[in-house]
Amino acid sequence: MALPSNIPTSFVPHSTTATHGLRVDLTSIFNFFAYITLGVVFLLAIGIFAYGRILASNQSAKDAELAQAEKTIDSEAAENFVRLRNRLTSGQELLTNHTAFSGFFTLLETLIPSNTRFLSLHLSVDSTGTVKLEGSGTAKNFNALAAASTAFAKDGRIKDAIFSDIVVNPKNNSVSFALSAYLDRELIAFSPKSRVAAPRITTPVATSTATSTP
């Protein structure tokens, strides 16, 4: 029986040697990198362990030094130091919160013209630390009162000063008034040094003079 013409009469099988060799090379490379990675991890583990031992040794040495230093400390001197520190802290807090009116009165004496005087003054401090001034007084005339208002505005430490209830005496043109204002907190705060310094304000009106007899 004759074979069909499309079927070859002989053939040579394909070789698998090259493919097998490629697979062996890839496996060897993978194993090589795996061993390298394992070696690096092992070295890191050894380094971390050694560093931990060094830190533990240093901590033990520091603890021993601290214990030795504690033995040399005089407990009574340490207690005295702590008490002194607490006293200084308390004193600083008391001085910071202490109210002293000398600065305010010095400033008021400097700013108010000599022909203007207060009959009453009231200072109050609210929970926010705002200092309010309320008072009443008299001035020789309206110009003297205007000079006092200008002096407050220029200095700036007596703020939002409002003169109200102004009444002019027709007999001598003297003026009675009420005053409300807010003060800079530093004006009533204790300070070992006076921070109040302002030039004496003069008014364009003539001031009264007094003579004394020997």
Whether 160 is covered by a domain: the verdict is yes
What is the per-residue pLDDT for 211?
Answer: 33
Q: Please state, in angstroms and rounded to a whole number, the distance separating the CA atoms of residues 111 and 202.
A: 9
Nearest CA to 145 out of 182, 106, 176, 107 is that of 176
Whether 85 is covered by a domain: the verdict is no
Whether 77 is covered by a domain: the verdict is no
Prediction pTM value: 0.45
Q: Please state, in angstroms and rounded to a whole number, the distance separating the CA atoms of residues 182 and 135.
A: 12
What is the per-residue pLDDT for 41?
Answer: 87
CA distances from residue 136 to 64, 171, 175, 178 in whole angstroms, order as listed = 73, 20, 11, 4
pLDDT digits (tens, 9 = 90+) for 175-191: 899 999 888 877 777 66
Strand order across the 116-125 sheet: 116-125, 131-139, 175-183, 158-168
Instruction: Quote the domain boundaries for residue 156.
Output: 102-188
- If asked whether residues 42 and 117 sit together in one domain, one would say no
Q: What is the mean pLDDT of residues 81-110?
A: 78
Asked whether residue 172 carries a pLDDT value surpassing 80, the answer given is yes
What is the per-residue pLDDT for 34?
Answer: 82
pLDDT digits (tens, 9 = 90+) for 59-71: 888 888 888 877 7
Whether 8 is covered by a domain: the verdict is no
Whether 201 is covered by a domain: the verdict is no
- If asked whether residues 117 and 184 sit together in one domain, one would say yes
Whether 27 is covered by a domain: the verdict is yes
pLDDT digits (tens, 9 = 90+) for 27-37: 777 777 888 88
Number of domains the chain contains: 2
Q: What is the mean pLDDT of residues 202-206?
A: 38
| Cα 96 to the center of its chain, rounded Å | 16
Looking at residue 103, the DSSP 8-state letter turns out to be: H
